[in-house]
A and B are shown apart, each in its own frame.
Chain A
Amino acid sequence: MSAVTGVGLTPFGRLEGQDTLALMSRAATAALADAELERRDVDGLVCGYSTTLPHLMLSTVFAEHFGLAPRYAHAMQLGGATGFGLVMLAHALADAGTARRILVVAGENRLTGQSRDAAIQTLAQVGHPVYEVPLGPTIPAYYGLVASRYMHEFGATEADFAELAVLMRANAARMPGAHLTAPLTVADVLASKPIATPLKLADCCPVSDGAAAFVIEREEPGRDAIRIRGTGQAHRHQHVTAAGPVGAFGAAEAAGRALGAAGVALADIRYGAIYDSFTVTLAILLEELGLAPRGGAGRLAREGRFAPDGALPLNTHGGLLSYGHCGVAGAMAHAVEAVRQMRGEAGDRQVARPALALLHGDGGVLSSHVSLVLEATR
Chain B
Amino acid sequence: MSPDLLDWTAGAERLVFEACGGCGRVRYFRRPFCPACGSQAVEARIASGRGTVYAATTVVRAPSAELRAFAPYGIALVDAAEGFRFMAHAADGLRIGDPVATAFRTFGSRLVPFCQPAGDP
Contacts and interface: CB of A to CB of B under 8 A. Distances in A.
Interface of A: 117, 120-121, 124, 128, 130-132, 134-138, 140-141, 144-149, 152, 193-199, 239-242
B75 A137 contact: yes
Contact of B60 (A131, A197, A241): A197
Nearest to A134: B110
A202 B12 CA distance: 40
Contacts of B58: 144, 194, 196-197
Residue among B65, B87, B112 facing the most chain A CB atoms (10 A cut-off): B87
Best-buried of B28, B29, B57, B63 by chain A (most CB within 10 Å) = B57
A242 B29 contact: yes
B77 interface: yes
A295 to B, nearest CB: 15
Contact of B56 (A124, A131, A138, A145): A145
A124 B58 CA distance: 16
Contact of B55 (A135, A140, A146, A195): A146
Given A148-B56, A196-B61, A141 B75 contact: yes
B37 interface: no
B36 interface: no
Interface of B: 9, 28-29, 54-65, 67, 70, 72-73, 75-77, 85-89, 96-97, 107-108, 110, 112
A146 B87 CA distance: 12
A145 B75 contact: yes
A241 B63 contact: no
A206 B58 CA distance: 20
Interface of B is mostly: strand
Given A135-B75, A197-B60, A148 B87 contact: no
Contact of A132 (B72, B73, B87): B87
A237 to B, nearest CB: 11
A152 B96 contact: yes
20 contacts: A117-B64, A121-B64, A130-B29, A131-B9, A132-B87, A136-B64, A136-B73, A136-B107, A144-B59, A145-B56, A146-B55, A147-B57, A148-B55, A148-B96, A149-B96, A194-B60, A197-B57, A240-B77, A241-B77, A242-B28
B89 A135 contact: yes
